[in-house]
Amino acid sequence: MVAQPTTRVQAQSTVLVPAGGHVCVGIDLHKDTMTVCVLVRGSGEIAYRKIACKNRDQVEAFFRALPRPHTVAIEAVGFYRWLWELLEPIVEKLVLCDATQARALAGRRLKTDREDAANVAELLLADRLPLAYAPPLEVQILRDWTRQRNRLSRDHARALHGVKSIMNMNNRPGSARLDSAGLHRYLLAFQALLPERHVKMLWQRQRQLSLLEEELGLCEREIARLLQSERFAAITRLLFTAPGVGPVVAATTIAEIGDFARFPDGKAIGRYAGLAPRLYNSGDKERHGHISKTGPSDLRWVLQQAAWTAIRCDERIKAQWLKISRTAGKKAAAVAIARKLLVLLWHMATTNQSYQRPPQPQEAA
């Protein structure tokens, strides 16, 4: 059972002075406001404070004035990062709370900002707070750039699909591989053969592709610079030895996983990425469903691309894919290879061992 405070003193503008106890602080964060619950270990005194998020100076001043020792817990909502980066150099100890699990532990407790903040503080006090992973700043910067790059890449693919759709309507599919420069040359040579409306649409797509390719290049240069930094250089060189892994796959994997050692085994990292199949178990019946697709979608996306590349360039992985595809089909087998590739990368990172490619037939002879 969650420890209940013995005394509740509402304090809107002051900070409690602990009576020789550790201060536990729970934050219920919203986009416009945050509700802070300050709970003192030992005395059970509790105080609340509601602060506007846009008033950064007030937020900083409040947390600087916290008595020590203290621990501050933030709920892992989608926009927590600004507050984390603001408080990390200020507070004594900062942790990230898994909001879903914390709410489940609250039971039938009322759903209000104060009660949510108090629930986080009381779970922290009782050492029962479910924690989430907060990546270090360097990892977060890499994550921001890889996610931006991958979003632009998907936008680029959609723009190319629009170009192909217009050209197919006129029975002129053009080149199998196309970029903005290729489309520019094609339109200069053959625009007289296309309807005027479609020519205007294709020129729009060409300008869109040109801008996207420019922004993609900027992102990839930033990612390459980060991978060469002291923080990521060693793990990058290690992951590059795996089949199908290039700069984008390596950067996205490092950014989304962060610390590989936080996963105890390959099954845990597969579940985190959402590549593990769902399990339905009732009585003596057990059935595996589709993959769960929980966790970072960018990680699944790049691993799926890496899996197809690995299937083409590595005979051992190709043999595994062929064996699985006989019963599961080619696409499901490729998903299984993506999961195996992620487990391989985890094993390489945690053991500091590079990938050993299978010998070629002539080498084996």
Please state which CATH number belongs to domain 23-125: 3.30.420.140
23-82, pLDDT tens digit by residue?
Answer: 999 999 999 999 999 999 877 788 999 999 999 999 999 999 998 899 999 999 999 999
* pLDDT classification of 141: cutoffs 50, 70, 90: very high
pLDDT one-digit tens code per residue, 335-362: 999 999 999 999 999 999 999 876 665 5
Domain boundaries, the chain: 23-125, 137-231, 236-351
pTM for the predicted model, two decimal places = 0.86
pLDDT tens track for 74-127: 999 999 999 999 999 999 999 999 988 998 898 877 889 999 999 999 999 999
- The three state secondary structure string of the chain is CCCCCCCCCCCCCCCCCCCCCCEEEEEEECCCEEEEEEEECCCCCEEEEEEECCCHHHHHHHHHCCCCCEEEEEECCCCCHHHHHHHCCCCCCEEEECHHHHHHHHCCCCCCHHHHHHHHHHHHHCCCCCECCCCCHHHHHHHHHHHHHHHHHHHHHHHHHHHHHHHHHCCCCCCCCCCHHHHHHHHHHHHHHCCHHHHHHHHHHHHHHHHHHHHHHHHHHHHHHHHCCCCCHHHHHHHCCCCCCCHHHHHHHHHHHCCHHHCCCHHHHHHHHCCCEEEEEECCEEEEEEECCCCCHHHHHHHHHHHHHHHHHCHHHHHHHHHHHHHHCHHHHHHHHHHHHHHHHHHHHHHCCCCCCCCCHHHHC
